[in-house]
Structure 1
Amino acid sequence: MSRTARVHAVRLGPRSLAALALTSAVGVVAFGWPFLAPPDSRLSAHAQDAPWLFAGLLVLLVAVVAATISESALGPKAVAMLGVLAATGAALRPIGAGTAGIEPMFFLMVLSGRVLGPGFGFVLGSVTMFASALLTGGVGPWLPFQMLSMGWFTMGAGLLPGAAGAAAVQAGPSGWGRLRGRGEPLMLAGYGFVAAFAYGTVMNLAGWPFLGGAASNISFDAGAPVATNLARFVAYCVATSLGWDLGRALCTVVLTLALGPAVLRALRRATRRAAFETAVTFDGPAQ
Structure 2
Amino acid sequence: MSGARDPRVTDPQSAGPRERAPHGGHAPAGERRPALSDRTPAAPVDPAPAPAVRAPRPHVVRLGPRSVVALVLVSAVGVAGFGWPLLAGPAAQVNAHAQDAPWLFAAVLVLLVAVVAATVSETGLGAKAVAMLGVLAATGAALRPLGAGTAGIEPMFFLMVLSGRVLGPGFGFVLGSVTMFASALLTGGVGPWMPFQMVAMGWFTMGAGLLPAPDRMRGRGELLMLAAYGFLAALAYGTIMNLSGWPFMDTLASGIAFDPGASLPHNLARFLAYCAATSLGWDLGRALCTVVLTLVLGGAVLKALRRATRRAAFEAPVAFRGPADGDRPGTA
TM category (shorter chain) comes to 0.7 to 0.9
The answer to whether structure 1 residue 208 and structure 2 residue 208 are counterparts is no
Q: 1:26 to 1:66 in 2, by over 3 A?
A: closer
**Residue 71 of structure 2: which of 11, 16, 20 is its match?**
20
Q: Deviations over 1:154-180 (max 9, x none)?
A: 00000000112xxxxxxxxxxxxx311
Q: Supply the distance in 2 between the matched residues of 1:44 and 1:226 (Cα, whole angstroms).
A: 16
Task: Spell out the pairing of 1:208-247 with structure 2 (5 A cutoff).
Answer: 208-247=246-285
The answer to whether structure 1 residue 138 and structure 2 residue 176 are counterparts is no
The answer to whether structure 1 residue 5 and structure 2 residue 57 are counterparts is yes
**Residue 289 of structure 2: which of 247, 251, 276 is its match?**
251
Q: 1:279 to 1:66 in 2, by over 3 A?
A: farther
The answer to whether structure 1 residue 45 and structure 2 residue 83 are counterparts is no
Gaps (5+ residues) in structure 2? 1-54, 319-332
Q: Deviations over 1:110-152 (max 9, x none)?
A: 0000011111100000000000000000001100100000000
The answer to whether structure 1 residue 56 and structure 2 residue 107 are counterparts is no
Q: Supply the distance in 2 between the matched residues of 1:201 and 1:5 (Cα, whole angstroms).
A: 37
Q: Supply the distance in 1 between the matched residues of 2:210 and 2:130 (Cα, whole angstroms).
A: 21
Cα RMSD (Å) of the superposition?
Answer: 2.0
Residue 182 of structure 1 corresponds to 220
**Residue 312 of structure 2: which of 253, 274, 279 is its match?**
274
Stretch of structure 1 that moved more, 82-91 or 268-277: 268-277
Q: Deviations over 1:192-243 (max 9, x none)?
A: 0000000000000011112232221111222322222211110000011110
Compute the displacement of 1:29 (Å).
2.6
Residue 154 of structure 2 corresponds to 103
Number of equivalent positions: 259
Query: Which amino acid counterpart does residue 17 of structure 1 have in structure 2?
Result: V
Q: Is the 8 A contact 2:235 2:283 kept in 1?
A: yes
Residue 191 of structure 1 corresponds to 229
Query: Which amino acid counterpart does residue 311 of structure 2 have in structure 1?
Result: R
Q: Deviations over 1:42-98 (max 9, x none)?
A: x54234453134322321221222221232306211121111100110010111211
Q: Supply the distance in 2 between the matched residues of 1:252 and 1:57 (Cα, whole angstroms).
A: 32
Q: Supply the distance in 2 between the matched residues of 1:182 and 1:278 (Cα, whole angstroms).
A: 27
Stretch of structure 1 that moved more, 87-96 or 57-66: 57-66
Q: Supply the distance in 1 between the matched residues of 2:317 and 2:111 (Cα, whole angstroms).
A: 23
TM-score of the aligned structures, taking structure 1 as reference length: 0.84
Q: Supply the distance in 1 between the matched residues of 2:209 and 2:174 (Cα, whole angstroms).
A: 12
Q: 1:69 to 1:29 in 2, by over 3 A?
A: closer
The structure with the greater share of residues assigned to helix is 1
Q: Is the 8 A contact 2:58 2:315 kept in 1?
A: no
Q: Is the 8 A contact 2:129 2:313 kept in 1?
A: no
Q: Supply the distance in 2 between the matched residues of 1:277 and 1:265 (Cα, whole angstroms).
A: 15
Compute the displacement of 1:252 (Å).
0.1
Compute the displacement of 1:31 (Å).
1.6
Q: Supply the distance in 2 between the matched residues of 1:92 and 1:201 (Cα, whole angstroms).
A: 22
Residue 172 of structure 1 corresponds to none
Q: Is the 8 A contact 1:48 1:210 kept in 2?
A: yes
Q: Is the 8 A contact 1:114 1:159 kept in 2?
A: yes
Q: Is the 8 A contact 2:309 2:315 kept in 1?
A: no
**Residue 116 of structure 2: which of 47, 65, 70 is its match?**
70
Identity of aligned residues (%): 71
Gaps (5+ residues) in structure 1? 165-177, 281-287
> Helix, strand or coil for the counterpart of 1:94?
helix
Residue 176 of structure 2 corresponds to 125
